[in-house]
Structure 1
Amino acid sequence: MAPRSRNNPLALAVLALLWERPMHPYEMSMTLRERRKDESVRLNFGSLYSVVDSLVKHGLIEAASTEREGNRPTRTVYRITDAGATEAIDWLTDLVRTPAKEFPQFEAALSFLPLLGPDDVVRLLRLRQTSLERQITSLEGGLADARAMGLPAIFSLESEYEVAIVRAELGFVAALATSIADGSFEGVALWRDLHRRASTHGRLDPDELAEALAPYLSPPQ
């Protein structure tokens, strides 16, 4: 599989599972859910079968056998190939070594935040803050359960990472809400002025917008 095709973590998950032992797709799905890997990798049966077909096409996995239980349809059991094992190691190595640009929805929202009024943003950020706090509590509960089961930390690293990321976001959100509310956020005065000028439809007249932004967009003399 060419590096440019390494855009679906579910394919890596399938390779990792088949590294352990041959499985049919239903067992792959159940194993991922039992291990809560579906919280890190987007999983549904339709996409799983598409991924399996693609991996077979690229020679990274192959059919090993078929099995049938009772009146259920025949299931194909797959195993990883030598090429698939090499691909899994190369892919994982690249993911761990090289930061990649991702596009979180919250980052996109921040880039267009001036469309909302400052007071509305503070209110929404406080609501997000509450949701993040609940999310951290839930994640830490899951980690505690894993420790209670005696699972080594290596099997819950993705949850440890998620807690760290959510904590970082919580700190950012709380600080941003506070700075907007107390007026210390740079540009908040302009932001408020733009919304005071806004029409009843929530939009500024283009000439008014140009006038308000002129001092900030004019090149230095």
Structure 2
Amino acid sequence: MAAKRRKLGNPLALAVLATLWQKPMHPYEIAQTLRRQGKDSSTKINYGSLYTVVQNLQKHGLVEVTDVERQGNRPERTVYGLTDAGREELTEWMSDLMAVPVKEFPIFETALSVMGVLHPDEVVRLLEERLNTLEVQVASGRGALEKLYETLPRLFLVETEYQLHMVQAQAEWVRGFLAEVREGTLPGVDMWRRYHETGELPAEFQ
């Protein structure tokens, strides 16, 4: 099952639709709500693009103007709400995202795919540095999560749990891979090392 191609695929558009699902808001209030609810820790949010995203959602009929607020000498604030089409799009999009795994391309995977350009000893040094950082992230993330559990229902913390779990999984993998490179048990590590010491690319690598 493939995910449907959407008119707007920007994660910020999804965040805006989900925020307006709570109630109609003006763009500044949307930004405040995203920050207050911590959505900027799970979604890459460019607040400078927020007005453009809202306008694009309106152009596609997913949100509509529901009110124009006027308070004293302040500039007018246009309030937007979801249309029926917007609610339907939000539901369908969320269903796709929850059910259909999509291949993503994290830059760390790209680096691993071409790590042969570095000497194995250098890779060990750099991954040790990465592992130290990951372990600090795990410890601080675990502490932060325990603190959040005291004031928020777990329902609102599942993305934070997932983030922590993925950092822990990455740390575990890096730890195991490091041991293989250090101990020389990684298949091909001798040829990899020899290439950097002789400058000759082994036939198996070509």
**Do the structures match in fold with TM over 0.5?**
yes
How far does residue 142 in structure 1 lie from its aligned partner after superposition?
A: 2.4
Specify every segment of 5 or more residues in structure 2 that has no aligned partner in the other structure, as ranges.
none
- Higher relative contact order, chain-length normalized (CA < 8 Å, sep 6+): 2
Instruction: Work out which of the residue numbers 65, 72, 77 in structure 2 matches 1:75.
Output: 77
How far does residue 67 in structure 1 lie from its aligned partner after superposition?
A: 1.4
In the alignment, structure 1 residue 139 sits paired with structure 2 residue 141: yes
Letter in 1 for 2:77: R
Partner of 1:39: 41
After superposition, the Cα gap between the structure-2 partners of 1:143 and 1:215, relative to the gap in structure 1 and judged at 3 Å, is closer
Letter in 2 for 1:83: A
Q: In 2, Cα distance between the equivalents of 1:59 and 1:23? A: 16
After superposition, the Cα gap between the structure-2 partners of 1:139 and 1:68, relative to the gap in structure 1 and judged at 3 Å, is farther
Letter in 1 for 2:176: A
Q: In 1, Cα distance between the equivalents of 2:170 and 2:155? A: 24
After superposition, the Cα gap between the structure-2 partners of 1:52 and 1:115, relative to the gap in structure 1 and judged at 3 Å, is same
After superposition, the Cα gap between the structure-2 partners of 1:78 and 1:195, relative to the gap in structure 1 and judged at 3 Å, is same
Letter in 1 for 2:158: L
How far does residue 215 in structure 1 lie from its aligned partner after superposition?
A: 4.5
Specify every segment of 5 or more residues in structure 1 that has no aligned partner in the other structure, as ranges.
199-207
Matches within 5 A, 1:98-137: 98-137=100-139
Sequence identity of aligned pairs in percent?
Answer: 48
How far does residue 197 in structure 1 lie from its aligned partner after superposition?
A: 1.5
Deviations 1:156-196 (A, max 9, x none): 11001111111110011111111101101111001000100
Deviations 1:12-62 (A, max 9, x none): 111111111011111111111111110111112222112111100000001
